[in-house]
């Protein structure tokens, strides 16, 4: 098995592909969160929370805290409510 050098060290070539997929998924989720945040700017958080079944603090944190982690299901609920896509 061949080792490949990355900025973080050496990895097996097969793991490089896996790492690439994970990076792509993270980038996609980051884009989703940014899209949701932008849409939440002009919304009343309590109304969004009521409509999605999420706690108002969760909605507020997503709208305001860029360094906090959120579950994919939470982001999907907000996307479904805000944009009518993703389930």
pLDDT tens, residue by residue, 54-87: 999 999 999 998 788 888 899 999 999 999 964 4
CATH assignment, 3-83:
1.10.260
Q: What mean pLDDT is predicted for residues 9-31?
A: 71
Q: What is the pTM of this model?
A: 0.69
Lowest mean pLDDT among 9-13, 35-39, 78-82: 9-13
SS (H, E, C) the chain: CCEEEECCEEEEHHHHHHHHHHHHHHHHHHHHHHHHHHHHCCCCHHHHHHHHCCCHHHHHHHHHCCCCCCCHHHHHHHHHHHHCCCC
Task: Say whether pLDDT at 11 is over 90.
Answer: no
What is each CA distance from 37 to 7, 34, 81, in whole angstroms? 31, 5, 13
């Amino acid at each position: 098995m061949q080792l490949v050098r990355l900025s973080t060290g050496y990895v097996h070539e097969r793991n490089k592909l896996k790492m690439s997929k994970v990076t792509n998924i993270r980038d996609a989720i980051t884009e989703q969160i940014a899209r949701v945040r932008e849409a939440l700017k002009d919304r009343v958080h309590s109304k969004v929370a009521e409509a999605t079944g999420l706690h108002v603090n969760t909605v507020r944190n997503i709208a305001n805290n860029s360094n906090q982690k959120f579950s994919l299901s939470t982001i999907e609920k907000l996307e479904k409510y805000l944009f009518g896509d993703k389930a």
